[in-house]
Chains A and B, each alone.
Chain A
């Protein structure tokens, strides 16, 4: 199947710093990628839809200035958590659909962010 890779898989940072997480589709192109946040033992909460070449679409309650999303190419989307605080600590997962495919969504391995 198609492969989606996230980097870093885990990151620890100090409060007030910014952290960038990359989501890459390794063997396919995707015009749309999705970013989710997952708390321990909870579901995946959609944060935003990343659109190649245009602005991301954010879900209600998600601060776009806090979670900056850039989708500069058909294989890369980045999520930047700006001025991170301990409450931003979470598991962030991206997903992507191949342009040429049946609609199946492929997930990255996730990135665990811990803000001290």
Chain B
């Protein structure tokens, strides 16, 4: 089955700097890659997703890149703010309707 690895496990950045989280996946059939943000004690919320027919997608300060050949995808947060502090999970699926395999998560701390 699919195996998703996520790095780093923790990431501390100064407010205003950029944060990058990287994930790799094992199943070459995977074609849907969402990213979720989970604040302490709350439910995960989708922040951005990408499908395998594109290499990059951007939504304001958040962007995701996908390298199908290398089987890795990354989340980029620019101009970080304290409210960006949370745990971020990457995930992969063989289609947008299938079950998701999650990465281990990255605890992001943005210090003022």
Q: Which residues of A contact B (CB under 8 A)?
A: 4, 32, 34, 41-46, 49, 93, 97, 102-105, 107-110
A99 to B89, CA, bound (A): 24
Additional A-B contact list (14), CB under 8 Å, known A44-B44, A103-B96: A34-B99, A42-B105, A43-B104, A45-B102, A46-B101, A46-B102, A49-B99, A93-B44, A97-B97, A102-B96, A103-B32, A105-B46, A109-B42, A109-B43
Residues in B with CB closer than 8 Å to A34 are: 99-100
Check B43–A43 contact: CB distance below 8 A: no
Check B99–A43 contact: CB distance below 8 A: no
> Interface of chain A, helix or strand or loop or mixed?
loop
Check B45–A107 contact: CB distance below 8 A: yes
Q: Which residues of B contact A (CB under 8 A)?
A: 32, 34, 42-46, 49, 89, 95-97, 99-105, 107
Rounded to whole Å, the gap between the CB of A112 and the closest CB of chain B is 9
Residues in B with CB closer than 8 Å to A43 are: 89, 102-105
Rounded to whole Å, the gap between the CB of A61 and the closest CB of chain B is 12
Check B43–A108 contact: CB distance below 8 A: yes
Partner of B44, one of A49, A97, A107: A107
Among B32, B44, B100, which residue has the most Cβ atoms of chain A within 10 A? B44
**Residue of A whose beta carbon sits closest to that of B9:** A41
10 A-B contacts (beta carbon < 8 Å): A34-B99, A34-B100, A43-B102, A43-B105, A44-B44, A46-B99, A93-B43, A93-B44, A103-B95, A107-B44
Check B100–A105 contact: CB distance below 8 A: yes
